Amino acid sequence: MMQQTNRLNIIRLQEEDLKDIHHMNSIDIVNEYNTISIPKNISETKKMLSKALDETNTTNSGWSIRLKKGNIFIGELGMTLASPKYRMAEIHYSILPEFWGKGFATEAVNKIIDFGFNELKLHRIEAGVATENLASIKVLEKVGMTKEGHKRKILPIRNQWKDNYHYAILDEDKSKNH
């Protein structure tokens, strides 16, 4: 499954993406607000992404984000579906630092939200974000998500407990904005 935007190809994760994702997740600044910690090696990265790489798994999806021009890897997206009766999913994303501030995360997240509502017929899409991660908060708000809550000291990040904001968008919110 591939999604496209004006500048991006969003492609279902493949084994070939592991090297790029491992490299990205090994960068301190990318991992600053990440609860998974820096992977020790590519095998650890593969284990972490095993559900997303398994094409028979229907609850965890992962995509590489690539520039259309040159097919350059710039990041990854993931979506985890809840029980079908809830028609809900949680998303996450990471972008290489050299591509920050250029609207790529917003473009990719918007496309995956559209996919969730239009193709998967979801009712609700959620995302969590460390309260200090101002750039990611901006992305979530730009795509139309609403801050619904604040959880205190829930994220284990770098041997400290960090607060989290909970964001969500409903299918009816998206249709109002487009």
For 149-177, the pLDDT digits (tens) are: 999 999 999 889 999 999 999 999 987 66
CATH architecture of the domain with residue range 2-126: 3-Layer(aba) Sandwich (3.40)
**Helical ranges in 14-99 per DSSP H:** 18-25, 42-48, 50-53
Residue 44 scores a pLDDT above 90: no
Q: What is the pTM of this model?
A: 0.92
Give the residue extent of every domain in the chain: 2-126
Rounded to 5 degrees, φ, ψ at 49 are -100, 10
In the structure, what pLDDT confidence band is assigned to residue 55 with cuts at 50, 70 and 90?
confident
